[in-house]
């Protein structure tokens, strides 16, 4: 038996013990003036909490996880299943335990003050000792723990602080979030001092009306409160009034004792600048606690926003407006630190989200770093703040287990106590994927009493009945609900709660198909209000390929544009030698691990466009303001007219003055040329001035409308001949592989996990065997009939080659048997000689687009180097496609090359990789670019959908069996 009482408590296997010796959570920010204890600490990694400390010390960086800092305990990724077999509350005997130690010089001028240690976050159990004496215990890997050290340290001397962090515990079972498992201290550690007479908590209620109420709690660690203490406060310099009515009521009811002081400050701000995500107006609030003689004992500063949140009927209203929730789920993640994120990191996350039209964040699945909320207040985001509870693998066992009751209430209530003053937080979430039980209702009850100003949501409750008033969720917040179910619910007449999906549009790999369809339905259907895309990050950890270790902080700069430098790669589940893992399911974000946006981000940006082109009528172009609170004064715009003949005309645009929701027609800035063919009008909208999240000139959206259709012209046959070889394959000087039929794409994650790829393989589509049936020549025209045999069917294919001026027209027909229903693509693939490194095209772009993800890629004249067309999804897969391509050239620097004109807008893909190269690779670093180009022209291409977790693409985006026809001409430049 150990003599140490903290170890003797065995808190890692005692769910009833949520803390010991820990101070209550509060919303007083103590970072200012504190003594930071971040940096290198002495460190030992024990094999279990009871193993003796006494080996050699190394060092470990705080904040940081040891799993990323050179120990043999490496990151492990699991989704649902626990990494160890024990049932709650047990944890494995082999239990990595990090012992962190350092000396702390306690400032001499802290004599007589109350000294507090704050540990920002430690996973999963924290034990604190000072000079060998037990101080306290804390759990919840994503909230700070504070301990009063006043009695243990002597100002002017140094103390040894030891933080023991036990990796596995009863708490791991309720921290089973789908992410990497780590061990360590993930947020800053600091020491601060206050007067014994101090502000214990400050609660701010700032209403849309301009009414402000500040409730303060006051304590004195010396004992009873000294007589005569009082509070003052000011808001942007304007003094607040003491609520004497509150004082009188408190005194009469004998509610407050000598040991707990309460006071309330009030004001009403006339013509208040209210807070919302579009115009996040903040005020500076200062609260001061005075001794009787007027001197200030304590001060608390807050940036506050005036706003209301309420549910009226089935609408969630912010300041009375039914706002759309354009959200994303965000983890605290970093490819070099694992979980520790800096102010700059978080700011960069939110700035990027802002630039791509997001206005909401769900802090999946735990309270994020406190700085994130400051930034959300400042930059303008609606936050669903989620408690650190996910018991996915043992959900049912824990939700009603009374041993975990305290933990549930503790986690939810401490989150609320920490974050209640942030205007950005509009909803509290009880956690994620933890079934639904009495423990949730207990936590919900606490919140309803403590903070009646915000709704609660919990998916685990909502799924038992979207409209059921008894359940602990004020929002119907399903995950991955089929769109038709959402629409049907909204139309059913049964809806009672706002429907905002807590997760939808799973962003794994090449994904987010049908996002625009979702938003078309959301905007058209009262009762639907949006949702949170799953998720922001691809959690790839930068890994050295040579020894399989995380690069750690030394990897700074060893990546660019989403790609790891040679010798490195983005690791996903299984890459650290884990036997239990869930592979690439950890790479499911809209940004790469280095925050490079995936093409899906542009789709989102356009869907969220504040300016929309509704129509084009004789009186001009009809524009609508699609915001909730502001006009267009922050925006500038330019008109662009793209003509099929290659011309692009531009003209300055004058945005009309429109209130939210209003529409107006503006005159067309161009006389549409008589000639020029197909014509597209684009409005390039940018920021008109520098904003906190975007310098002036940052592109905001590019709404577009077609002004004139293409006229279909068929080129006349020219004299000449076409050469095919003995197999009936086209012989062409610029092609190294002749045009052949392709039905295969390197499966996307959606194709694999949704089961489509398995079907395609079982039909043999990845290895079709071609057999030429006949080759016929007739007056210069060659007709080649062939068959492509799979294992369960044969595709009949015909190519007709006709000489046309300067090249050859290829007319193709493929007849798919009924057995090949819903294939990846039907089209042509060929390969070019090396050196044709520039793609110029007229079609949708410039970024990657697919049939069901193309709302953000305007039609125009685009050009990109071939090497930049490919999107380096972590697990290689179909990528680089461009939708609606009418024609393109592939050229060398001397302008030689080839030109292709398609019969109608088609899906085209030009990369350095064959579909089989991508299919065979597991990581990007395994890919070897081919010298030439691999070119796909598709008559039909399957949508992307989101079937890796959630709905597949819609039937209209699937490829039907039967006859497909397409044609194209190939010319030499």
Of 176 and 298, CB closest to Mg ion:
176
The least distance separating ligand GAL from the CB of residue 12, rounded to whole angstroms, comes to: 24
Give which of Mg ion, ligand GAL, none residue 595 binds (C-beta under 5 to 8 Å, depending on kind).
none
Q: Does 432 bind ligand GAL (CB under 6 A)?
A: yes
Of 363 and 624, CB closest to Mg ion:
363
Q: Does 79 bind ligand GAL (CB under 6 A)?
A: yes
Cα angle: 796, vertex 797, 803; to 5 degrees: 155
Strand 825-832 and strand 648-653: the pairing is unpaired
Q: Which of 123, 146, 459, 503 is catalytic?
A: 503
Q: Distance between CA atoms of 227 and 363, rounded to whole angstroms?
A: 43
Clarify whether 146 is annotated catalytic.
Answer: no
Of 243 and 749, CB closest to Mg ion:
749
The beta strand positions in 71-172, using DSSP E, are: 76-78, 97-105, 114-123, 125-130, 133-139, 145-148, 158-166
Q: Does 433 bind ligand GAL (CB under 6 A)?
A: yes
The least distance separating Mg ion from the CB of residue 847, rounded to whole angstroms, comes to: 31
Of 43 and 585, CB closest to Mg ion:
585
Token couple for 561: 């544009």
The least distance separating Mg ion from the CB of residue 658, rounded to whole angstroms, comes to: 43
Clarify whether 811 is annotated catalytic.
Answer: no
Give which of Mg ion, ligand GAL, none residue 235 binds (C-beta under 5 to 8 Å, depending on kind).
none
User: How many C-beta atoms lie closer than 10 Å to residue 150's C-beta?
Assistant: 17
The least distance separating ligand GAL from the CB of residue 432, rounded to whole angstroms, comes to: 5
Specify whether the backbone of 475 is left (phi greater than 0), alpha (psi in -120 to 50) or beta. Answer: beta
Choosing from 503, 831, 925, 952, the residue that interacts with ligand GAL (CB under 6 A) is 503
The least distance separating ligand GAL from the CB of residue 177, rounded to whole angstroms, comes to: 6
Residue located via tokens 């990724």? 77
Q: Does 235 bind ligand GAL (CB under 6 A)?
A: no
Give which of Mg ion, ligand GAL, none residue 544 binds (C-beta under 5 to 8 Å, depending on kind).
none
Give which of Mg ion, ligand GAL, none residue 503 binds (C-beta under 5 to 8 Å, depending on kind).
ligand GAL
Token couple for 264: 């309330």
Task: Judge whether 195 and 298 are in contact, CB under 8 Å.
Answer: yes
Residue 420's Cβ-count burial label (10 Å; 0-12, 13-18, 19+) is buried
Of 78 and 799, CB closest to Mg ion:
78
Q: Which of 433, 459, 535, 752 is catalytic?
A: 433
Of 687 and 948, CB closest to ligand GAL:
948
Token couple for 856: 């953000």
Encode 242-271: b = buried (16+ Cβ within 10 Å), e = exposed: ebeebeeebeeeeebeeeebbbbbbbebee
| Residue 72 β-bridge partners | none
Of 392 and 886, CB closest to ligand GAL:
392
User: How big is the site for ligand GAL, counted in residues (CB under 6 A)?
Assistant: 13
**Pattern 151-180, binding to Mg ion, x per CB under 5 A?**
---------------------------x--
**Pattern 571-610, binding to ligand GAL, x per CB under 6 A?**
--------------x--x----------------------
353-392: contacts with ligand GAL (CB under 6 A)? 365
Q: Does 140 bind Mg ion (CB under 5 A)?
A: no
Choosing from 161, 189, 479, 944, the residue that interacts with ligand GAL (CB under 6 A) is 479
Q: Does 749 bind ligand GAL (CB under 6 A)?
A: no
Tell me the C-alpha to C-alpha distance, in Å, between residue 667 and each of 620, 670, 685.
Answer: 4, 9, 17
Residue nearest to ligand GAL (CB): 178
The least distance separating ligand GAL from the CB of residue 459, rounded to whole angstroms, comes to: 8
919-958: contacts with ligand GAL (CB under 6 A)? 949
Of 179 and 495, CB closest to Mg ion:
179
**Pattern 386-415, binding to Mg ion, x per CB under 5 A?**
------x-----------------------
Q: Distance between CA atoms of 194 and 116, rounded to whole angstroms?
A: 8
Give which of Mg ion, ligand GAL, none residue 749 binds (C-beta under 5 to 8 Å, depending on kind).
none
Give which of Mg ion, ligand GAL, none residue 350 binds (C-beta under 5 to 8 Å, depending on kind).
none
The least distance separating ligand GAL from the CB of residue 814, rounded to whole angstroms, comes to: 36
What one-character-per-residue DSSP string does 453-508 give? TS-EE-HHHHTT-TT-TTSS-SSB--BS--HHHHHHHHHSS---S-EEEEEES--S
Q: Distance between CA atoms of 35 and 103, rounded to whole angstroms?
A: 13
Token couple for 690: 């520098």
User: How many C-beta atoms lie closer than 10 Å to residue 229's C-beta?
Assistant: 17
Strand 499-504 and strand 528-533: the pairing is parallel
Give which of Mg ion, ligand GAL, none residue 479 binds (C-beta under 5 to 8 Å, depending on kind).
ligand GAL
| Residue 666 β-bridge partners | 621
Q: Which H or E element spans position 843? A: strand 838-844
Smallest CA-to-CA distance from 510 within 582, 589, 440 is with 589
User: How many C-beta atoms lie closer than 10 Å to residue 109's C-beta?
Assistant: 10
Where does this chain bind ligand GAL (CB under 6 A)?
Answer: 79, 177-178, 365, 432-433, 479, 503, 506, 534, 585, 588, 949
The residues of the shown chain that bind Mg ion, judged by CB under 5 A, are 178, 392, 433
Tell me the catalytic residues.
433, 503
């Amino acid at each position: 038996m150990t003599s140490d009482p903290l170890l003797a408590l065995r808190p890692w296997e005692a769910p009833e013990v949520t803390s010991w010796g820990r101070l209550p959570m509060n919303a007083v920010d103590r970072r200012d003036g504190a003594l930071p204890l971040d940096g290198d600490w002495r460190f030992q990694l024990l094999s279990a909490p009871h193993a003796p400390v006494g080996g050699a010390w190394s060092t470990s960086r705080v904040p940081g996880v040891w799993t990323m800092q050179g120990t043999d305990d490496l990151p492990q990724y699991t989704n649902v299943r626990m990494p160890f077999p024990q049932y709650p509350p047990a944890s494995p005997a082999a239990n990595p335990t990090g012992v962190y130690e350092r000396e702390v010089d306690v400032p001499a001028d802290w004599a007589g003050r109350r000294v507090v240690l704050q540990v920002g976050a430690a996973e999963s159990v924290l034990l604190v000792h000072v000079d060998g004496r037990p101080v306290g215990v804390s759990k919840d890997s994503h909230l700070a723990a504070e301990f009063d050290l006043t009695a243990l340290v002597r100002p002017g001397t140094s103390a040894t602080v030891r933080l023991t962090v036990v990796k596995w515990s009863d708490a791991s079972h309720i921290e089973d979030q789908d992410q990497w498992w780590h061990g360590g201290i993930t947020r800053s550690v600091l020491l601060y001092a206050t007067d014994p007479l101090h502000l214990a908590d400050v609660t701010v209620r700032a209403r849309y009306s301009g009414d402000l109420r500040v409730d303060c709690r006051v304590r004195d660690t010396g004992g009873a409160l000294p007589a005569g203490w009082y509070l003052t406060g000011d808001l942007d310099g304007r003094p607040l009034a003491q609520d004497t009515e509150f004082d009188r009521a408190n005194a009469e009811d004998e509610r407050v004792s000598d040991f707990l002081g309460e006071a309330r400050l009030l004001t009403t701000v006339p013509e208040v600048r209210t807070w919302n995500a579009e115009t996040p107006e903040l005020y500076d609030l200062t609260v001061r606690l005075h001794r009787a003689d007027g001197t200030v004992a304590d001060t608390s500063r807050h940036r506050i926003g005036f706003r209301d949140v309420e549910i009226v009927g089935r609408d969630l209203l912010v300041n009375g407006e039914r706002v759309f929730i354009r959200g994303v789920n965000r983890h605290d993640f970093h490819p070099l630190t694992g979980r520790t994120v800096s102010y700059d990191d978080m700011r960069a996350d939110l700035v990027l989200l802002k630039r791509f039209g997001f206005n909401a964040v769900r802090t999946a699945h735990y309270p994020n770093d406190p700085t994130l909320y400051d930034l959300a207040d400042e930059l303008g985001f609606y936050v669903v703040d989620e408690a650190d509870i996910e018991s996915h693998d043992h959900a049912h066992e824990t939700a009603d287990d009374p041993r975990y009751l305290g933990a549930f209430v503790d986690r939810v209530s401490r989150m609320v106590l920490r974050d209640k003053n942030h205007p950005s937080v509009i909803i509290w979430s009880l956690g994620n994927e933890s079934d639904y039980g009495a423990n949730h209702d207990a936590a919900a009850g606490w919140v309803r009493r403590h903070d009646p100003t915000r709704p609660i949501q919990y998916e685990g409750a909502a799924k038992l009945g979207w409209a059921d008033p008894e359940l602990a969720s004020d929002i119907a917040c399903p995950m991955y609900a089929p769109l038709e179910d959402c629409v049907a619910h909204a139309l059913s007449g049964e809806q009672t709660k706002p429907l905002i999906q807590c997760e939808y549009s799973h962003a794994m790999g090449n994904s987010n198909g049908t996002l625009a369809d979702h938003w078309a339905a959301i905007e058209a259907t009262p009762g639907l209000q949006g949702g949170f895309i799953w998720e922001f990050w691809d959690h790839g950890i930068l890994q050295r390929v040579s020894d399989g270790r995380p690069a750690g902080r030394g990897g700074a700069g060893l990546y660019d544009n989403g790609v790891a430098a040679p010798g490195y790669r983005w690791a996903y589940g299984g890459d650290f030698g884990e036997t239990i893992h869930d592979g690439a399911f950890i790479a499911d974000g809209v940004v790469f691990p280095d925050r490079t946006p995936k093409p899906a981000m542009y789709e989102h940006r356009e869907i969220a466009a504040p300016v929309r082109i509704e129509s084009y009528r004789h009186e001009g172009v009809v524009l609508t303001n699609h915001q909730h609170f502001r006009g267009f004064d922050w925006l500038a715009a330019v008109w662009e007219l793209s003509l099929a003949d290659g011309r692009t005309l531009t003209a300055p645009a004058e945005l009309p003055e429109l209130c939210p929701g209003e529409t107006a027609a503006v005159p067309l800035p161009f006389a549409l040329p008589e000639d020029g063919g197909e014509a597209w009008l684009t409005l390039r909208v940018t920021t008109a001035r520098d904003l906190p999240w975007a310098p002036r000139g940052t592109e905001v959206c590019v709404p577009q409308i077609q002004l004139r259709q293409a006229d279909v012209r068929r080129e006349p046959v020219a004299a000449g001949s076409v050469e095919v070889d003995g197999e009936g394959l086209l012989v062409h000087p610029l092609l190294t592989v002749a045009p052949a039929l392709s039905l295969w794409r390197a499966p996307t994650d959606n194709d694999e996990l949704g089961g489509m790829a398995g079907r395609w393989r079982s039909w043999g589509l990845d290895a079709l065997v071609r057999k030429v049936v006949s080759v016929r020549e007739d007056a210069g025209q060659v007709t080649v009939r062939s068959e492509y045999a799979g294992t369960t069917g044969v595709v009949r294919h015909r190519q007709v080659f006709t000489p046309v001026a300067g090249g050859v027209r290829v007319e193709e027909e493929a007849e798919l048997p009924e057995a090949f229903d819903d294939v990846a693509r039907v089209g042509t693939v060929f390969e070019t000689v090396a050196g044709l490194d520039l793609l110029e095209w007229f079609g949708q772009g410039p970024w990657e687009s697919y049939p069901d993800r193309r709302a953000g890629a305007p039609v125009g004249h685009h050009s990109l180097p071939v090497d930049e067309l490919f999107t380096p999804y972590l697990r290689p897969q179909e990528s680089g496609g461009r939708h609606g391509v009418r024609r393109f050239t592939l050229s060398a620097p001397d302008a030689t090359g080839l030109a292709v004109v398609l019969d109608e807008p088609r899906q085209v893909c030009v990369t350095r990789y064959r579909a089989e190269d991508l299919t065979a690779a597991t990581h990007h670093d395994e890919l070897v670019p081919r010298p030439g180009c691999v070119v796909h022209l598709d008559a039909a291409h399957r949508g992307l959908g989101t079937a890796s977790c959630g709905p597949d693409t819609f039937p209209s985006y699937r490829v039907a069996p039967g006859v497909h026809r397409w044609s194209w001409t190939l010319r030499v430049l």
